[in-house]
Chain A
Amino acid sequence: MITRGMNTTGLGLGLMVLALLWLCPGGLSAEPMTDRQAARHVLDRLGFGPGPGEVDRVAEMGWEAWVRQQMASREIDNDKTNKYVLEHFPSLAMTMEQVWAEYYPRYENEPPTQEEIKNRNKLRYDLNKELTGSVIYRAVYSERRFEEVMAEFWRNHFNIDQGKDQVQYLAAHYEQAVIRKYMFGDFADMLMASARHPAMLIYLDNDVSQKPLSDREQRMLVRFENKKYQPRSVMALGRQRGLNENYARELMELHTLGVANENRKGGYTQRDVTELARLLTGWTAGRSGDSMMGGGDGYGFRFRESVHDDEPKRVLGMSFRGNEGEAGGVRFIKALAEHKQTARFISTKLCRYLVCDDPPTELIDEVAQVFEDTDGDLAAVYEAILFSDAFMDSANYRAKFRTPFEFVVASLRATNAHMTSFNGTREALRRMGQPVYGCVDPTGYSDTAEAWLDPGVLVYRWDFALRLAQGKVGGVKVPGTFWKDMPKDDPAKLKQALAEALLAEGTQTEGWDTIESALGKKPEPKQAAGMVLGSPMFQEQ
């Protein structure tokens, strides 16, 4: 294991930097965090960074009290946030049926007019804006800070991409009904909700996964190839894609068990993946009254018996007779949620997110045990992490590299920014490579430094930092109150005020000397604020 403590590293042209090790410590640090450090630590990790005056407040009340308050999030008044969301992002409160009706108007003409097409495209874009806007708004302004931090975790764990097919129309509902609904509840419930949500089924292609063609059907296809006329039934066969293993694989690899490892107990094989895909054939989405999908009211999950593979199957040692229909899949997903390896996989990811990039095994052991003992009660699991020795170990203070999302939200919070539109921020995140609900990979965005620390990407952070301070991010304004104690004719006072406003430990912040000298003799307040936001120190949490 790497030794812990302070390292002196010479860099570039004479720049000396004291830096904490990125990796987690093997043991506990001798020096505990100061009260202010502890306050900043919990605000950073559990609240996307402190706003003005917040470090003082939390240091005053004690970090533990603040964390307990956030854990009991339902008791935190959130009316203001909810009201704003309802007013500005109405699709967040709609059923999927309503979203289709409102945002996907039927074409009255055949073929549709340019006007109709344009209108539909606009509405689709509006939907995108509402969802991404709501995510950014809540992360910056919600009083339920820890909820937002965990929402971001689960969005990435159960990733969907609004760029794929019709996912756009379903993602807002997914955010509410899958991510937010269960993030302080039971993991098993969230898993099941995701598995039955049209957004996930479409994103990972399970909606088109059907039992493979029989030999007879295959022969029909061949018989009619190259024929001008094809019976409808044969054309339908041609469109059928057969089995699609996409969701089955990710359900085990990314959502529950982790990557298959033949040597590890509980590992699964390609055969398990295929069998699971067969078990889940027919899990799809349908509209009201669609007889092919077995009828049903409102747009939503459907079990389509006619494409379900009803042969016997065996997945991860569990047997399915084949006549269980939908219940077979339900039984298996419940078993996945209870699997020992799932407890470990989810616990590891949570520790990495909340504590450090390479969390110690002992911590993971403890947390996984709580996960198992409580059948995946997520609130209990979070608590086990937040009140562990490792979480408050001073070696983990500022040990994470902020993701673009964390950086952007922390900047907006630190400057007490007012937002009237989310377009500029949304675009900034896209350029930094982390568009909201736009991760193409089913893995979701990584939260480790390794994933984000590329030379080119930092340039966009700097650009955002400068533009934010100068009021040049679309729809965002740093209010006058932020600048009021930052006189441009008193450099010493200005620097002091900036350090206090943006760096929690003020001029005591490790590395402040570097910033101080880079700001120069007579800094201009806005440029100086941008530089602090873009500094290496502000990229850490």
Chain B
Amino acid sequence: MATTRREFIKQTGTIALGAAGVGALGPKTVFGAAGGATPSKPTVVVLYLRGGSDPLSALIPYGDRTYYNLRPTIAVPAPSGENPRAGVIALNDYFGFHPSMAGLARLYKKGLMAPIVNAGSTHPTRSHFDAQDFMERAAPGVKSVTEGWLNRYLYMTKTGDDSDLRAVSFQPVLPRSLRGQYPALAVPDKDAQSAASVFAGLYGCDDAKQTAKSQEGPDADKPADKESPTTGRGRIIEAGAQGIARLNRLNEVLNDGKNKSAVDYPKTTLGGQFRDIAKLIKADAGLEVAAIDYNGWDHHAMQGGSYGVFQQMMGNVSNTIEAFVDDLGSKIDRTVVLTMSEFGRTARENGNSGSDHGHGGYMLAVGGPVNGGRFYGKWTGLSSRSLYEGRDMPVYTDFRDVFAEVLAGLYGFQADDHQFFPEYDANDKPMGLIKT
């Protein structure tokens, strides 16, 4: 029988529940944001590039001849004066970014952005669903863990004062990293949302709007303060009430004119998602964890070099994140965006001008708390001896090291003290990705 959520939390979380409340938070916690009793915590935005995003197209070792040998049709030319938009954006004399990443390169130069090379899972699987599961549950090879790592963190550190909008995903179904016992909010589309108001009475929140408002005051008497009902019917009603209250609160913030964005985001789904996240952050709505899925990175064919599918998708990521940073203003000092993908791709291009499932991938970290403007991770080149199984990028940085540093750096949450990651040997030498 698979370990249930509850059993897993029992195994790993009991010590944490008492200890990891507000009091256990790190030095970065600031209380008393304007106009509310809600402590404003930093925000982490997790962007999942689903499908296995190609590391060698994003962080390009243009100083290595082998890169061009391995990729006769999809390599990006070295930087040159002739057509700067087609060439690698050089960041040093070996590495550069894909030309679509101009926005991210600017952030890198401002010290707000850092790439991590050869990062990924210690598990060798090249299966999308296994690799995604393992990463999003932060438990490579351990199938008995069924809750997402972000959800586990939220659950272990929850308090009676949690904001209704502490964990939000602007998509209809939660990404796996946010699934679990903690009631994170997947935001339904507008059509479906209008149904919610009809059901307020049936789910015990006739005055849903009033409930949402009263929670801002010191005398908040919301269901979450009470002990959760353990009965079947009670739990259904509680879940419904939570959904309604959260949606009301969310729409209040999103529709409030003073949270409007002054910058232009790309007119893409991703752009809209980041714009809404920025609104929540600017409004001090208590958003701590946001997660977004960006599908379609499984570029087995026609992946393109300077131009093509990868360029369009990565351009969307880069432009969106740059707009997001602009939009946040000083709030970026307490916000981190972290990108990841389940694995990298083959170093050599395949017969279809694409690449196949690989092993080591890459991560990008953006935000004020990031020690940016430099590369992280270990790099051993592209010779077949240094490749994993002679074909893929190796993994030198366990993605859990990165997760752990983000949780510790932003929230003072020590993953290893809490046995947060099953079967994980904590890295003794932190990378220093997050400023302390």
**Chain A residues at the B interface, C-beta cutoff of 8 Å:** 2, 7, 9, 11-13, 15, 17-22, 161, 205, 218, 221-222, 225-226, 235, 238, 241-242, 244, 246, 253, 258-259, 345, 348, 398-399, 401, 431, 433, 440-443, 449-450, 453-460, 462-463, 465-466, 511, 514-515, 517-518, 527, 530-531, 534-537, 539-540
Interface residue from B4, B69, B194 paired with A450 (Cβ < 8 Å): B4
Give the chain B neighbours of A453 by CB distance below 8 A. Answer: 235-236, 239
Task: Tell me whether B192 is interfacial, beta carbon within 8 Å.
Answer: yes
Residue of A nearest to B385 (CB): A222
Give the chain B neighbours of A459 by CB distance below 8 A. Answer: 188, 192-193, 195-196, 243, 247
Task: Tell me whether B158 is interfacial, beta carbon within 8 Å.
Answer: no
Q: Are B235 and A531 in contact (CB under 8 A)?
A: no
Task: Tell me whether B191 is interfacial, beta carbon within 8 Å.
Answer: yes
Task: Tell me whether B391 is interfacial, beta carbon within 8 Å.
Answer: yes
Report B140-176 residues with CB < 8 Å from chain A CB. 143-144, 172-174
Tell me, in angstroms, the Cα distance from A235 to B58 when the chains sit together. Answer: 26
Report B374-409 residues with CB < 8 Å from chain A CB. 384-385, 389-391
Residue of B nearest to A398 (CB): B232
The total of chain B residues at the interface (CB under 8 A) is 71
Tell me, in angstroms, the Cα distance from A420 to B271 when the chains sit together. Answer: 38
Most buried by A among B5, B246, B385, B389: B389
Give the chain B neighbours of A450 by CB distance below 8 A. Answer: 4-6, 181
25 A-B pairs with CB atoms under 8 Å apart are: A11-B234, A11-B241, A12-B203, A13-B205, A15-B204, A17-B204, A17-B234, A19-B229, A21-B232, A222-B385, A226-B70, A238-B391, A246-B125, A246-B130, A259-B143, A259-B144, A440-B129, A440-B132, A454-B186, A458-B240, A460-B172, A517-B201, A536-B233, A536-B240, A537-B233
B291 to chain A, nearest CB (A): 13
Q: Are A460 and B192 in contact (CB under 8 A)?
A: yes
B300 to chain A, nearest CB (A): 11
Interface residue from A442, A455, A531, A540 paired with B129 (Cβ < 8 Å): A442
Give the chain A neighbours of B391 by CB distance below 8 A. Answer: 238
Interface residue from A17, A235, A433 paired with B237 (Cβ < 8 Å): A17
Tell me, in angstroms, the Cα distance from A517 to B234 when the chains sit together. Answer: 18
Give the chain B neighbours of A535 by CB distance below 8 A. Answer: 199, 202
Q: Are B1 and A258 in contact (CB under 8 A)?
A: yes
Task: Tell me whether B422 is interfacial, beta carbon within 8 Å.
Answer: no
Report B20-73 residues with CB < 8 Å from chain A CB. 66, 69-70
Q: Are A518 and B201 in contact (CB under 8 A)?
A: yes
Q: Are A534 and B199 in contact (CB under 8 A)?
A: yes
Known: A225-B384, A460-B188, A536-B203. A441 touches B129 (CB 8 A): yes
14 A-B pairs besides A21-B232, A433-B172 with CB distance below 8 A are A15-B204, A20-B232, A22-B230, A22-B231, A218-B390, A226-B70, A258-B1, A449-B232, A453-B239, A456-B187, A458-B239, A463-B188, A466-B198, A530-B198
B183 to chain A, nearest CB (A): 5
B189 to chain A, nearest CB (A): 8
Task: Tell me whether B185 is interfacial, beta carbon within 8 Å.
Answer: yes
Give the chain A neighbours of B187 by CB distance below 8 A. Answer: 456
B297 to chain A, nearest CB (A): 15
Tell me, in angstroms, the Cα distance from A3 to B427 when the chains sit together. Answer: 46
Pick the 3 closest A-B CB pairs, nearest first.
A12-B204, A455-B243, A19-B233
Report B119-144 residues with CB < 8 Å from chain A CB. 125-130, 132-133, 143-144
Give the chain B neighbours of A221 by CB distance below 8 A. Answer: 384, 390
Q: Are A540 and B233 in contact (CB under 8 A)?
A: yes
Tell me, in angstroms, the Cα distance from A15 to B185 when the chains sit together. Answer: 24
Most buried by A among B133, B235, B242: B235
Give the chain A neighbours of B143 by CB distance below 8 A. Answer: 253, 259
Tell me, in angstroms, the Cα distance from A443 to B204 when the chains sit together. Answer: 34
Give the chain B neighbours of A7 by CB distance below 8 A. Answer: 231, 234
Give the chain A neighbours of B238 by CB distance below 8 A. Answer: 11
Interface residue from A246, A455, A534 paired with B127 (Cβ < 8 Å): A246
Residue of A nearest to B192 (CB): A463
Tell me, in angstroms, the Cα distance from A515 to B243 when the chains sit together. Answer: 19
Task: Tell me whether B79 is interfacial, beta carbon within 8 Å.
Answer: no
Tell me, in angstroms, the Cα distance from A13 to B236 when the chains sit together. Answer: 16
Tell me, in angstroms, the Cα distance from A377 to B64 when the chains sit together. Answer: 63
Task: Tell me whether B304 is interfacial, beta carbon within 8 Å.
Answer: no
Known: A221-B384, A221-B390, A455-B239. A401 touches B1 (CB 8 A): no
Give the chain A neighbours of B111 by CB distance below 8 A. Answer: none
Give the chain B neighbours of A449 by CB distance below 8 A. Answer: 232, 235
Tell me, in angstroms, the Cα distance from A398 to B231 when the chains sit together. Answer: 12
Interface residue from B1, B199, B237 paired with A462 (Cβ < 8 Å): B199
Q: Are B230 and A21 in contact (CB under 8 A)?
A: yes
Q: Are A11 and B223 in contact (CB under 8 A)?
A: yes
Task: Tell me whether B262 is interfacial, beta carbon within 8 Å.
Answer: no
Interface residue from A218, A441, A456, A465 paired with B185 (Cβ < 8 Å): A456
Tell me, in angstroms, the Cα distance from A517 to B351 when the chains sit together. Answer: 66
Q: Are B384 and A222 in contact (CB under 8 A)?
A: yes
Interface residue from A19, A21, A241, A466 paired with B126 (Cβ < 8 Å): A241
Residue of B nearest to A450 (CB): B5
Give the chain B neighbours of A21 by CB distance below 8 A. Answer: 230-232
Tell me, in angstroms, the Cα distance from A494 to B129 when the chains sit together. Answer: 49
A163 to chain B, nearest CB (A): 10
B57 to chain A, nearest CB (A): 19
A121 to chain B, nearest CB (A): 15
Give the chain B neighbours of A253 by CB distance below 8 A. Answer: 143
B372 to chain A, nearest CB (A): 34
Tell me, in angstroms, the Cα distance from A454 to B188 when the chains sit together. Answer: 12
Q: Are B234 and A9 in contact (CB under 8 A)?
A: yes
Residue of B nearest to A246 (CB): B127
B399 to chain A, nearest CB (A): 20
For B263-296 the 0/1 string (1 means CB < 8 A from A) is 0000000000000000000000000000000000
